[in-house]
Amino acid sequence: MLPQWRKVMTAALVTTAVLGLPGLAHAASPSVQLELCNNESQTGVFEITGLNQHNARVSSPQYDIRGRQCRIFGNWWWKTDQWVRIAVRRNSLNIGEFHIDSNDRDGSTVRHWVR
């Protein structure tokens, strides 16, 4: 019976891996993904710096976001109840901060408009 059980478990694991079933990040603390939206008409280069789900200070990759468009910084998880730094380069570098609230639901995506 044991070999049959292994076959069933192997098939289940392969099916799950192939389908890529989504799940929440395995976090040491409550965390969210951020969706940044460019509130200006000009394309900008955006970067987020803050504490990740493991309480380590990290910076995201830099992403272009077209004017009046949004982008999810996918698979980058940010600890809740903290201020993150958002750097934006258009004609010059602008640095601002955004507070991720402790009430933001763990595993959710939080949208923030940036000037």
Task: Judge whether 31 and 79 are in contact, CB under 8 Å.
Answer: yes
- Please give the average per-residue pLDDT across 67-78, as a whole number: 98
Separation between Cα atoms, residue 51 and residue 32, nearest integer Å = 11
- Please give the average per-residue pLDDT across 59-81, as a whole number: 98
Per-residue pLDDT tens digits for 93-107: 999 999 999 999 999
Which domains, from first to last, does the chain contain? Answer: 25-114 (2.60.40)
Report pLDDT for 4. 59
Instruction: Specify the residue for token string 């009046």.
Output: 68
Q: Where are the alpha helices (DSSP H) in the chain?
A: 2-19
Q: How many Cα atoms occupy the beta-carbon half-sphere of 13 within 13 Å?
A: 6
Separation between Cα atoms, residue 102 and residue 115, nearest integer Å = 24
Per-residue pLDDT tens digits for 16-56: 343 333 444 456 799 999 999 999 999 999 999 999 999 99
Report pLDDT for 27. 65
Whole-model pTM: value is 0.77
